[in-house]
Amino acid sequence: MDILFIDRLTVMAYIGINDWEKNCLQKLIFDLQLSCNTEFFKDHQSIVSYIDYTHVNQVILSLVSQKHFYLIEDVANLIANTLIEKFCIYWVRVKVNKPGAIHNACNVGICVERKNKTLLKSLKKS
């Protein structure tokens, strides 16, 4: 398995469980890993199936700017599930960092992994 990654993608978001966090933009930093098959892309006819990381970036910006999120877990789940849905990938890892959330820690975050079970099944059959 090959991995396409995006490190330290930074977005300002409405995020948090406290009242004061409802109207206050805070920094979230994303580390993303998406499975891909670079051998497959060598064939020019299949160029359409490469994962465009600029498109991934746009999807994340659009998702995160749409509403207020309660937990970083909610953001991580939404992004992981959407990426699995929108792109032809069978595995994704999404790490959401909320630096500064705890004054005596340099970072806190959540890391989720999702698999596209339907795609996995069809890959096994072929």
Decide whether 72 or 89 has the Cβ nearer to ligand LV4SOB2L: 72
Inter-axis angle of helices 72-86 and 53-65, nearest 10: 140
Are 109 and 52 within 8 A, CB to CB?
no
Distance from the Cα of residue 35 to its chain's centroid: 12
User: Residue 117 catalytic?
Assistant: no
- Which one of the spans 1-9, 45-53, 59-67, 71-79 is the region binding ligand LV4SOB2L (CB under 6 A)? 71-79
Among 6, 9, 14, 21, binds ligand LV4SOB2L (CB under 6 A): 21
Task: Please list every residue from 73 through 112 that binds ligand LV4SOB2L, using CB under 6 A.
Answer: 73, 98, 101
Catalytic residue among 67, 86, 98, 121: 98
Are 74 and 82 within 8 A, CB to CB?
no
- 101: its two tokens: 């959330």
Active site residues: 98
